Structure 1
Amino acid sequence: MKREVTKAIFPVAGLGTRFLPATKSVPKEIMTLVDRPLIQYAIDEARAAGIEEFIFVTSRGKSALEDYFDVAPIIEADLRAKGKTELLEILKATDMDSGAIAYVRQQKALGLGHAVWCARRLLGDEPFAVLLPDDVIAAEKPCLQQMMEAYAETGGNMVATMEVPMDKVSSYGVLDVAEDMGAIVRAKGMVEKPKADVAPSNLAVIGRYILTPRVMDNLHARKIGAGGEIQLTDAIAQEIVNSNDVYGFRFRGQRFDCGSKAGFLQATVAFGLARDDLNEEFSQYLGEIVAMRQAAE
């Protein structure tokens, strides 16, 4: 019997150095995409998938992240007094129930696998999800919800995947496919950041995972992998050997790498254009920019 997944890990301990100087004082996960911080997109996606307990793996300097999900009585009182009920509802959507969020510290930056391992005592013997807030996915049905529905059929371990150009595979964990069933593929191997000439496919793993407790057992070995770090990919790949129950899921949607400046800007344009209250003015402005550039050429 497949156990229900109700806990999720959010690794947010990174320093965000690619966004300096902004991240000198603001955690990268709090940086806003249109009018919501990156972490809110991940939380909303997890909630839609039925996640009830949220585990943040943090580091020093992340107190603003903790404050964001707390109540804001002064702001709420001001909005209530001014009758701004719509803004009040938007604000309340960021609140989390007492006890729904837990925070653990990753005291040394030893890789994604190590960050996930830091949350081991809060999981018990339960399957769990992992969401990387840097990966923002625009989808009609949230990506993790799609995965949960597929997981109900397969059980085991599941990673979100997408096809990337071969010259980009060295930036990802990549699946070696044993059986392609369309949206779901069974993996016979996983390789972290392979060179293009030895990559088993162009099916890349992105930041959404549903994992069994055995993956946490594998991480406990603290095996050093690519880049001298403890890689989550290696711990998942071990389950191909142990149980042959690792699947890739081709999600329906568009993924934006908001860990890069270019990806963040692309996401800002896409999400801005998707907003009914912004589309007309924003699309007109973008059209004017394109017209000016074409005229200049």
Structure 2
Amino acid sequence: FVYMFGDDLTLSDVPVTKQLIDVYHEQHPAAVLAVQEVPWSEVERYGSVKYKENAPYKYTMERGYEKLPKDQAPSNKVQFGRFVFSYDVIEAAINTATGKDGELWLIDILNGLVDAGKTVIAQPIEGEWLTTGDPLRYLKTTLKFAMERDDLKDELKTFIKDEIMK
């Protein structure tokens, strides 16, 4: 099944969810999560992943980490809100203890699957991930999507030129 965060959007020729579903059907893992490389200065805003060396599939996750400082993060490949899960994830969620602040953390569920010998894939996606998790990123994402639309981009360019850049 597909699980998505509402504040993460993507622009891509092939929908990101389809990319993940294709990997799921090819590899048959317990979970596939979308990742994208970010600048090291932004790593601590997101959950980062470490890949398993010498795994049959090169994007097999060894461990996931939630919002580590950049000097502690294993990579600048970060997860965002697109996932394809097998039902193993439901069972793992039931058996995972709550973490910080009594919350059930997805990263703990995914790490639990890895610890149980299940395959979790952290798949780099083709396309651009855009987040709306704070006011500035929300605005940038909205503008970027608007500029992709033929019915909006010319009027938006005129508005920005005449009203914003004056």
TM-score of the superposition, structure 1-length normalised? Answer: 0.51
Q: Which has the higher contact order (CA 8 A, sep 6+)?
A: 2
Match of 1:192 among 63, 66, 88: 66
Q: What 5-or-longer segments of structure 1 have no aligned partner?
A: 1-127, 293-297
Q: What 5-or-longer segments of structure 2 have no aligned partner?
A: none
- What CA distance in whole angstroms lies between the structure 2 residues aligned with 1:131 and 1:191? 19
Matched-pair contact (CA < 8 Å) for 1:180–1:186: no
Matched-pair contact (CA < 8 Å) for 2:96–2:109: no
Q: Which residue is 2:113 aligned to?
A: 239
Matched-pair contact (CA < 8 Å) for 1:162–1:204: yes
Displacement, 1:160?
0.3
Q: Which residue is 1:142 aligned to?
A: 15
Q: Structure 2 vs 1, CA of residues 270 and 180 (structure 1 numbering), >3 Å: closer, same or farther?
A: farther
Equivalent residue of 1:256, what SS?
strand
Q: Structure 2 vs 1, CA of residues 226 and 168 (structure 1 numbering), >3 Å: closer, same or farther?
A: farther
**1:167 is aligned with what amino acid?**
S
Displacement, 1:179?
4.4
Matched-pair contact (CA < 8 Å) for 2:96–2:108: no
Displacement, 1:233?
0.9
Alignment RMSD (CA, Å): 2.2
- What CA distance in whole angstroms lies between the structure 2 residues aligned with 1:246 and 1:195? 23
Higher deviation after alignment, 232-241 or 281-290: 281-290
- What CA distance in whole angstroms lies between the structure 2 residues aligned with 1:244 and 1:153? 15
Equivalent residue of 1:185, what SS?
coil
Q: Structure 2 vs 1, CA of residues 142 and 274 (structure 1 numbering), >3 Å: closer, same or farther?
A: same
Greater helix percent: which structure?
A: 1
Listed as ranges, the matches of 1:24-103 within 5 Å are none
Q: Which residue is 2:142 aligned to?
A: 268
Equivalent residue of 1:276, what SS?
coil
1:130 and 2:25 aligned: no
**1:190 is aligned with what amino acid?**
G
Matched-pair contact (CA < 8 Å) for 2:47–2:65: yes
Listed as ranges, the matches of 1:155-174 within 5 Å are 155-156=28-29, 157-174=31-48
Equivalent residue of 2:2, what SS?
strand
TM-score of the superposition, structure 2-length normalised? Answer: 0.87
Answer with 1 or 2: which has the greater Rg.
1
Q: Which residue is 1:218 aligned to?
A: 92
Q: Which residue is 1:37 aligned to?
A: none
1:280 and 2:143 aligned: no
Q: How many residues matched?
A: 164
